[in-house]
Structure 1
């Protein structure tokens, strides 16, 4: 079975299980999602949602973040970890959105990745979630771990993983595929204690089928 065939089977199984999943981050505007994804680095979505539920009642637009003291932003996001760097990026990102993009979150990959704190992963999430656009495949820690375990890739480099996955995953599935892996990673393929015995894709997984 080729990797393309394997991916197709896996996606069929996950489609039946998860349907059309959405991002687990809570947001009302493209900018709120952008900020939430920046905060999600090295932090759980659950924690980010707790923080933003309070924060977005106080400040939730590029103008408000751009005009806010850095220390105030830091205090609001402290529990997400790496808060100083995240606060700096959110403020710089907000300023650039105001200066270069008329206060609106840009749609293109090039423009999004020109913003402070926004790499391909963040841009892929925002583009896919807000506009249904896919220039690539989001690679987070779950996607990296599961694609290596399954045997679809053999790399720890997110960019290399993304390029390999783009060759074997149909473009129509580029947005949903990482969502499937994230959900499966949280529920079944847990990092320290994978539940291989009850995993629905065990027969297609290099790691699981040997368990």
Structure 2
């Protein structure tokens, strides 16, 4: 039996209060200056560090400035331009296809609805949420990346494993006003303290309210995930 919703709501409120105090200025770490750059950066960031993406896009955004530039790009050349990004060949294909769709169906502009965004190549709900929040100032859901997934489970906010189900659980217990910032807070805390394999529980501001806090971080038998 899972934790009652009201208990999880109280847990979420306490966690967010502490993390807001710990990371008052946290925000998205990808570099971009417009919606197209944001979309491209988020697509490239899948299973790749933001730091590496920022290194690559510094030159990429000078060469490819419009959706038409991606649509008309030689895919092999674009793959070379993003070399160093994980799955760069696949992502080059996503970007050329996305450029074609933006030109053909959206006048070269990045759309502002979840459905239209997730119709683009390489764009799932997580990517679409980021683009909506930071490109269009529309908060429709919660971005569930690897840090949000890990911390949500460790902190007892969900027992789900799939990102879509984790997002649904979080949206049910976290006020909508906190949906966007929750992701940034969890990412900052995940990077600084709550590491995947060696979390620094003794230094964690959530240690006393974290059901997963323990000195001996064994592998969780239920999920096979190193805690």
Same fold (TM over 0.5): yes
Aligned 1:54-133 pairs, distance under 5 A: 54-133=59-138
SS at match of 1:115: coil
SS at match of 1:203: helix
SS at match of 1:159: helix
Consecutive unaligned residues of structure 2, counting only runs of 5 or more, are 1-5, 216-227
- Aligned-pair distance for 1:99? 0.8
Match of 2:199 in 1: 194
Q: Distance in 2 between matches of 1:196 and 1:166?
A: 26
Aligned length: 210
Q: Deviation string for 1:106-137 (max 9, x for gaps)?
A: 11111111111111000111111122211111
Q: Distance in 1 between matches of 2:156 and 2:65?
A: 41
Q: Distance in 1 between matches of 2:39 and 2:7?
A: 36
Match of 1:148 in 2: 153
Q: Distance in 2 between matches of 1:94 and 1:28?
A: 17
Q: By percentage of residues, which structure has more helix?
A: 1
CA contact (8 A) 1:20 1:176 kept: no
- Aligned-pair distance for 1:20? 4.6
Give the root-mean-square deviation of aligned CA atoms. 1.1
Q: Distance in 2 between matches of 1:121 and 1:194?
A: 25
Q: Distance in 1 between matches of 2:67 and 2:128?
A: 17
Match of 1:49 in 2: 54
Deviates most, 124-133 or 25-34: 124-133
Q: Deviation string for 1:22-55 (max 9, x for gaps)?
A: 2100001110010000000110000000000111
Q: Distance in 2 between matches of 1:179 and 1:66?
A: 32
Q: How does the TM-score come out when normalised to structure 2?
A: 0.90
- Aligned-pair distance for 1:85? 1.1
- Aligned-pair distance for 1:58? 1.3
Q: Distance in 2 between matches of 1:36 and 1:12?
A: 30
Match of 1:159 in 2: 164
Q: Distance in 2 between matches of 1:84 and 1:160?
A: 30
Match of 2:10 in 1: 5
Match of 1:172 in 2: 177
